[in-house]
Amino acid sequence: MATNHNHAHAGHSGQQTARRLAIALGATLAFVVFEAFAGWRANSLALLSDAAHNLTDVIALALSWYALRLAAQPANASKTFGYHRAGILVALVNSTTLVVIALGIFYEAFRRINAPLQVEANVLVGVGVVALLVNAGTAWLVERGSDKDLNLRSTFIHLMGDVIATMGAIVAGIVIAVTGMNWLDPLVSAFIGLLILGSAWGILRETIDILLEGTPRDIDMSKMVRDLLKVPGVRGVHDLHVWSLTQNMRALSAHVVTDNVLIGDGAAIQREINAVASREYDIAHATLQLECEGCQPDLLYCNLEGGAGGEAEHVHEPDSVAPH
């Protein structure tokens, strides 16, 4: 068995990200108190709903900061893969919180559309401008690296949702000041809720896939098997598993059938498989078990319960791979 440990450690970059998160956390927390008070004084649901969303941002930023600190801890006997999944759990909490907040906004918006309240448009616009500056600034602090880290991306989407929400609140305040149509305030709130719900769904689906050890969506398993069978010396592949520890940290394990070769020749086969996995599929951690031909065939995708389920193929030739 061979294992390729190509783990990417956060190091100095992780410390910088944690520092940026801490700054964003402090700024957002201070603004939440200010915006909630202003929304209460102005009788504006748009401001109050935005303050509620900002409060979830405070929680999201705090959890993301903690997850970064936790993920930097080394692997140990009880956590042999380390604490990288902490960020995935935070992303799950963040996206679930967004859904709950959106549903609450829908309920209150519906209630106020039926019975609109007088809104102080000047306060709505003034606070909205300050909110836009704060939200845009904190989103900028978190944006770096969010494309490769689901934890950071869930927090960044939280903050960008606030940017769009405050822009909507500013527009609503200007229109209310000119026309007196107070029903625009809850209507904008409902629009904010839709944006929150839409952004939450993508994160929620991806975190669930990762926690269920699902195959990354961009990996074609049939093509992977064909690529592995092209490696010189490989006669078959079975018991194949590909999963993600985090959004950008993938792992693979497989049983590889070879001729009855020397250990040195087997090591060369393993190195080539590791190179293919890394180059073609961005897999940094591969665990391979070499077997000589004549071993008892197993399932291509192993059924851990040992039953009859799964895809009963022991693949020896590229054209024998069943298409998805």
How do residues 51-66 score in pLDDT, each as one tens digit?
776 777 787 788 888 8
**What per-residue confidence (pLDDT) applies to 252?**
93
Please state at what angle helix 11-42 crosses helix 45-71, rounded to 10 degrees: 160
Give pLDDT, residue 306.
52
pLDDT at 289 over 70: yes
If one compares 94 and 121, the residue with the highest pLDDT of the two is: 94
Rounded to 10 degrees, the C-alpha dihedral 262/263/269/272 comes to: -140
d(C-alpha 132, C-alpha 98), whole Å: 19
The chain-wide mean pLDDT, for the chain, equals 77
By residue count, the chain amounts to: 324
Distance CA 117, CA 158 (A): 28
Q: What is the DSSP letter of 103?
A: H
Query: Does residue 138 have a pLDDT over 80?
Result: yes
Token pair of 140, please? Answer: 């900028």
The rounded percent of the chain whose pLDDT value lies above 90 is 14
How far is the CA of 58 from the CAs of 54, 133, 180, 297, in angstroms? Answer: 6, 16, 33, 53
Alpha helical stretches, state H, 144-282: 150-179, 184-211, 221-229, 263-281
256, 273 Cβ separation under 8 angstroms: yes
Residue 118: phi and psi, rounded to 5, are -70, 130
Residue pair 234/273 in contact by the 8 Å Cβ criterion: yes
Say if residue 155's pLDDT is above 80.
no
CA atoms in the 13 A half-sphere facing the CB of 62 = 9
pTM: 0.63
**Distance (Å, whole) CA 293 – CA 78:** 36
Confidence of residue 7 (pLDDT cuts 50, 70, 90): very low
For the chain, which domains are there?
A: 8-211 (1.20.1510.10), 221-320 (3.30.70.1350)
Instruction: Confirm if 10 and 71 have CB atoms less than 8 A apart.
Output: yes
pLDDT of residue 254: 92
Average pLDDT over residues 291-315: 55
With 50 as the cut, is the pLDDT of residue 321 above it?
no
Tell me the C-alpha distance between 92 and 70, whole Å: 16
CA distances from 278 to 6, 65, 96, 239, 284 (A): 9, 29, 33, 19, 6
pLDDT confidence bin for 74, thresholds 50/70/90: confident
Between CA 42 and CA 278 the distance in angstroms is 56
Report the alpha-carbon distance of residue 97 to residue 203 in Å, rounded.
12
The mean per-residue pLDDT over the stretch 76-99 comes to: 81
**pLDDT of the residue at 256:** 92
Q: Is 253 exposed, middle or buried (0-12, 13-18, 19+ CB in 10 A)?
A: middle
Least confident of 75-89, 152-166, 310-324: 310-324
Average pLDDT over residues 153-182: 77
> What pLDDT, on the 0 to 100 scale, is given for residue 35?
78
Kindly indicate the confidence band of residue 298, based on its pLDDT and cuts at 50, 70 and 90.
Answer: low
